[in-house]
Chain A
Amino acid sequence: MRQIPIKMTFFFQLHPIIATIFFGELIVLTMLFNHVAVALTGIVSLMIINVFYLGRHAAWQQLKFNGVLFFMIVFFNVLLNQKFSPFLWKVSTGFFTFKLSYPALLYGITMGIMLTEMLMTFALLNTILTANKLIYVFAPITPKLALLVTISFNLVRDLIKRFGQLLLLQKTRNLDTTTGSLPTRLKKILSLFQILLEDSLSSAMETANLMDARGFGAAKRTHYRSYRFNPTDWFFLMVTTAAFALLLFVRINAMGWTNSVADFNTILFTGDLYPMVLLGSFTLMPLIAEGVYHLWTN
């Protein structure tokens, strides 16, 4: 399937305020349900829209990166939480006994998925809500907040790029993060963060000064792209906000959420179907709207 250029998509053309509200709601929803089935629905839906909007290659790369974090969360959960039965596996070596707790495993998987969902949401947000849209949304409230948001996004992008270069170039100083045991590698990576922050922050400060030098915050901002609310924007807002309100309602009624790790003994709880259907529909709404938008083409 040939990817549609991002600028030609309905989602990209959505009014920035509506898109910001949608992403705000989506970020809240990624933290609202901790049942495995609901979390899986969320991540599968996010994966579908990320493949559609970011492309298969970018989505795959991101999934690989998130996969490492996911497995780390699962690993530490099952390692640190061994008191809840049933146990799937036990092993004893001298003083140490390891018990693989089923609830801890399920809880770890849910937590891992929730974090991955959050990262995927930010990747999508970064593509749809470009810097000028973010400034458009936040500058009327406070130009300084808009400056902060824009610089933060640039800083994160810059940090990721520089970190890759740093990993590469520090090999010339015998700091090779691809060799040694896991703790050694983690120690090496942590030692790079100080250099990374020092280097990137000074560059971000220079960028901020150059923004000021070009009149940022000098007057009430105007906008080259005049974003007008279209009926489709209002319709999208109504549908997604209604779905969001319903999801809040089901969450208030304790569906899709369990308080104690001990109670995590199944993948699918009674009542999960409601949040699953609603969350899937909410997350895939841009894609549904995309289909309707293209069907409407003359």
Chain B
Amino acid sequence: MDQLIQIQDLTFTYPAQQQPVLKDINLTVNHGDFIVIAGDTGSGKTTLLNHLKKELIPAGETTGDVLINGKPIKTLSQLDSAQTVGYVAQNPQTQPIMSTVIEELAFPLENVGCPSNEIERRIAELSNYLGLDQLLDRQISELSGGQLQLANLASVLILRPKIILLDEPTSQLDPLTTQHFFEVLRRVHEELGITIILSEHHLSIALSLANRMLLIQHQTITFDGPPTEGIKLMGNDERLGYFIPPVSQVFLAGKRHLDDLPISVAAGQRAIRKDRIHFKPTTALTQSPIQRPANVILKAKNIQFSFDRQKNVVDHLDLNVHQGDWLAIIGKNGAGKSTLLNLLTGLRTPQHGKVYFNQKVVWKIPTPQRIKSLSFLSQTPTLQFRSGSVYEQLTIQARELALDHPQSRINAIVDQLKLQSILKHNPFDISGGQQQLLGLAIALLAKPTLLILDEPTKGLDPFTKNFVGNILKQVQQAGTTIIMASHDMGFCATFADHCAFMFDGHINTYLPTRNFFTHNFFFTTSINRLVRNQVPEAMLARDIELNNASNG
């Protein structure tokens, strides 16, 4: 029998909710499948994944059955469950329990009663296989986001499960680390034959590895089949159209290679060579960018900052940001981007150097005055929330800002960010994407002249990301300067005016967005990688079109 998991008529409703989040789900997963679950934020992807792991089934009303190897999941012993199904969570920080990597790898084996010599053998084998052998004695707290997520995967893999479930495992990783993580997943799937089911918003890499794609819409599975077919189907939906990987978008728009739709850059380049496809720049690309006046609104001068006085996280950094600009700061996890934003916001004071906002030293501006013109959204918006409902978050901030017409401003922001349905909710109970939107609403309430954002698209699905990008563009056009740190190359390429790379504690490669991406080789968009030989200045699907004159 090839069937590993069977879900029969699964319906699930969270407590105190009227509508089910999952309805009439029927699914069969076979041994060796690599399944990607796609869908909007809040569509039930995580809830579905959690129903496949006995210990993580959420509280609520469930009907229907989930069978693993023909046995109802609820009858699996904890031991069987641990050794059959592994789970990697979205936030890499929540899983580790021990202090070092080696202890973290030993932890699940100790739990299932593995003898000491067997534990040692498995750790030695797996750590060498995944390239973690040099990290074994490192403290968990010292690992970068990517290393930590790899350690989390290893800690699950060491039990040799038949299935691994992953819930948006790369949502907090930079693009290169994401690629490395997926490369490890590919090896785990191909070389070990382990069944993988993962939920993901960034489909480019994930779908190129998958043999099946599930689409969740309207509380149920609306598509189950090959990824290329699923992508074509998404093209018919206004929201899901944003989920289509950029490489596939290019071929769909040109109606080329539809039978074997390329998803990855490599597949796209193979298709281009095979069919001798030629692209040309679109008119959007040939238009020159709008020049803006060049008053410096924020100036960082030779700033240095260290947490432990041993190593500078920000080192001799200079930065001038012009009024009306949108600057994206790009860099690997742990490059110091968030620390830099804290310094620019005046939340931290550098040990050396100065940061001037409108010619005043930023940390010397009294807080009540500063928040009226400078807003900040951190990458953990919950830490900026106060107690009370979503609506109260806004009223409290309006009061602190001493707004002239607080109610009309709150109403405008609620309408703009479409927060009506969650106004009475506790902000700690809403989804990560909704928390991000609420954080943005709080930040925008002041109509700031400078808006600083740390990973503003974290946890957002592609449609909501585009929605947020458009709102921020309107805010920028109304006169606000935006500085953001982001791992999302597509978002930066679509919306930012300038991009800069942060490395070794300082900013380099501060260039207009198009120059930045077209001069980079690794930190660039998939479209630039796809067609850099034909249209070197292209970075988005909208920048290129088929050159019909030369295509056969």
Interface status of A263 (Cβ within 8 A of chain B): no
Interface status of B159 (Cβ within 8 A of chain A): yes
Interface status of A168 (Cβ within 8 A of chain B): yes
Given contacts A131-B97, A209-B55, contact A174 B103 (CB under 8 A): no
Bound: A220/B82 CA distance, A:
14
Mask: chain A, 211-240; 1 = CB below 8 Å from B; 0 = not: 111111111111111100000000000000
Residues of A in contact (CB 8 Å), total: 48
Asked whether B110 lies within 8 Å of A194 as measured between CB atoms, the reply is no
Could you say which of B111-119, B185-193, B238-246 contacts chain A? B111-119
Asked whether B87 lies within 8 Å of A210 as measured between CB atoms, the reply is yes
Asked whether B111 lies within 8 Å of A219 as measured between CB atoms, the reply is yes
User: Which of A154, A179, A210, A213 has the largest count of B CB atoms less than 10 A from its CB?
Assistant: A213
User: Which residues on A sit within 8 Å (CB–CB) of B53?
Assistant: 213
Q: Which of A150-197 contact B (CB under 8 A)?
A: 150-151, 154, 162, 165-166, 168-176, 179, 191, 194-195
Interface status of A57 (Cβ within 8 A of chain B): yes
User: Which residues on B sit within 8 Å (CB–CB) of A191?
Assistant: 386-387
Bound: A28/B375 CA distance, A:
50
Nearest residue, chain A, Cβ from B446: A172
Asked whether A57 lies within 8 Å of B98 as measured between CB atoms, the reply is no
Q: Which of B67-109 contact A (CB under 8 A)?
A: 77-79, 81-83, 86-87, 89, 91, 93-95, 97-100, 102-103, 106-109
Asked whether B384 lies within 8 Å of A215 as measured between CB atoms, the reply is no
Given contacts A172-B347, A199-B382, A219-B113, contact A206 B94 (CB under 8 A): yes
User: Which of B78, B81, B86 has the largest count of A CB atoms less than 10 A from its CB?
Assistant: B78
Asked whether A176 lies within 8 Å of B367 as measured between CB atoms, the reply is yes
User: Which residues on A sit within 8 Å (CB–CB) of B81?
Assistant: 213, 215, 218
Q: Classify chain B's interface size.
A: 35 or more
Q: Main SS of chain A's interface residues? A: helix
Which of A166, A195, A214 is close to B156, meaning CB atoms less than 8 Å apart?
Answer: A214
Asked whether A131 lies within 8 Å of B98 as measured between CB atoms, the reply is yes
Mask: chain B, 152-195; 1 = CB below 8 Å from A; 0 = not: 00011001000000000000000000000000000000000000
Asked whether B113 lies within 8 Å of A220 as measured between CB atoms, the reply is yes
User: Which residues on A sit within 8 Å (CB–CB) of B396?
Assistant: 173
Interface status of B259 (Cβ within 8 A of chain A): no
Interface status of A203 (Cβ within 8 A of chain B): yes
Nearest residue, chain B, Cβ from A170: B384
Q: Which of B141-161 contact A (CB under 8 A)?
A: 155-156, 159
Given contacts A130-B98, A132-B106, A206-B94, contact A172 B78 (CB under 8 A): no
User: Which residues on B sit within 8 Å (CB–CB) of A168?
Assistant: 342, 347-348
Asked whether A195 lies within 8 Å of B387 as measured between CB atoms, the reply is yes
Interface status of A260 (Cβ within 8 A of chain B): no
Asked whether A169 lies within 8 Å of B384 as measured between CB atoms, the reply is yes
Which of A165, A173, A211 is close to B386, meaning CB atoms less than 8 Å apart?
Answer: A173
Smallest distance from the beta carbon of A9 to chain B beta carbons, Å? 15
Asked whether A218 lies within 8 Å of B99 as measured between CB atoms, the reply is no
Which of B99, B110, B112 is close to A130, meaning CB atoms less than 8 Å apart?
Answer: B99
Asked whether B116 lies within 8 Å of A195 as measured between CB atoms, the reply is no
Nearest residue, chain A, Cβ from B85: A213
Interface status of B397 (Cβ within 8 A of chain A): yes
Mask: chain B, 416-432; 1 = CB below 8 Å from A; 0 = not: 00000000000010000
Bound: A128/B380 CA distance, A:
32
User: Which residues on B sit within 8 Å (CB–CB) of A212?
Assistant: 55, 78
Interface status of B305 (Cβ within 8 A of chain A): no
Bound: A168/B378 CA distance, A:
11
Which of B94, B98, B103, B111 is close to A221, meaning CB atoms less than 8 Å apart?
Answer: B111
Asked whether B116 lies within 8 Å of A223 as measured between CB atoms, the reply is yes
Bound: A219/B114 CA distance, A:
10
User: Which residues on A sit within 8 Å (CB–CB) of B156?
Assistant: 214
User: Which of B53, B97, B384 has the largest count of A CB atoms less than 10 A from its CB?
Assistant: B97
Residues of B within 8 A of A (CB): 53, 55-56, 77-79, 81-83, 86-87, 89, 91, 93-95, 97-100, 102-103, 106-116, 119-120, 123, 155-156, 159, 308-309, 342, 345, 347-348, 366-368, 371, 375-376, 378, 380, 382-387, 396-397, 400-401, 428, 442-443
Question: 30 A–B contact pairs at CB < 8 A?
Answer: A57-B308, A135-B110, A154-B97, A165-B383, A171-B371, A172-B371, A172-B375, A172-B376, A173-B386, A174-B367, A174-B400, A175-B386, A194-B387, A203-B93, A209-B55, A212-B55, A213-B81, A214-B82, A215-B79, A215-B108, A218-B77, A218-B78, A218-B79, A218-B111, A219-B111, A219-B113, A221-B111, A222-B109, A222-B114, A224-B102
Residues of A within 8 A of B (CB): 57, 130-132, 135, 150-151, 154, 162, 165-166, 168-176, 179, 191, 194-195, 198-199, 202-203, 206-207, 209-226
Top 4 A-B pairs ranked by shortest CB distance? A215-B82, A224-B106, A215-B111, A174-B400
